[in-house]
Amino acid sequence: MLKTVITEHNPKNLPITHAVIWLHGLGASGHDFEPIVPELGLSDDVGVRFIFPHAPQIPVTINGGYIMPAWYDILEMTLDRKVDVTQIAASAAAINELIDEQISAGIPSQNIIIAGFSQGGAVAYHTVLTNTRKLGGLLALSTYFATASEVPSVGVNQDIAVKIDHGDFDDIVPPVLGVKAKETLQNLGLNPTHTTYPMAHQVCLAQIKAIGEWINELFAKS
């Protein structure tokens, strides 16, 4: 089981009925997005658990084989991103264990959002779009759909809400890859939203506010 950072938004001390599993990017940790939770402006009427897993320490080819936190190896930084797809599948399986853990704690799968930034977003795409359980949403931040060729169709999550965000000036994951992911999902029959912000490979305050509104909207329905 992956090690995690867990924080909750629950000012009214309600039962925890919803969860967000949020994956960090290359070289970061589960603490990376933890400070965002209080900034989201979440409703006080829903008890939400945030799970921020730590990626395993593995050698990363594009960094000279340096061992660092990574969800999978990146072999080449070409536009189409040569990556180790078997490691993406393994990371998705590890996220599925976290999903199972939350289901065992009483949270329905359809109340669980999977979010990811950069590398974490690629794993989030794979986790959600290959899942056998109906999930609550997919949040893809400054990322790309690395395993599109491995996902010819989507099963129970055909109607899932998908929010794709990207920076206009992202020089790590070019914005065109966010557009390509949106188009790929549309071809699979999904209806993702795609929003860009005047930023680099990061998140910004306006985006965080919009993410909070999106989460509130989804969780109000479930």
In this structure, which amino acid lies at residue 76? E
Residues 6+ apart with CB under 8 A from 20: 48, 49, 50, 51, 112, 113, 114, 115, 139, 215
In this structure, which amino acid lies at residue 54? H
The answer to whether residue 165 is catalytic is no
| SS3 (DSSP) at 50 | strand
The answer to whether residue 118 is catalytic is yes
Catalytic residue among 43, 54, 201, 222: 201
The answer to whether residue 142 is catalytic is no
Q: What does the block give as tokens for 176?
A: 């065109």
Q: With residue 194 as reference, give the H or E element that holds it.
A: strand 193-197
For 198, which DSSP code?
Answer: S
Selection from 194, 57, 37, 54 nearest residue 113 by Cα: 37
Helix H, strand E, coil C: the string for 59-80 is EEHHHCCEEEECCCCEEECCCC
Catalytic residue among 91, 109, 118, 142: 118
Residues assigned a catalytic role: 118, 170, 201
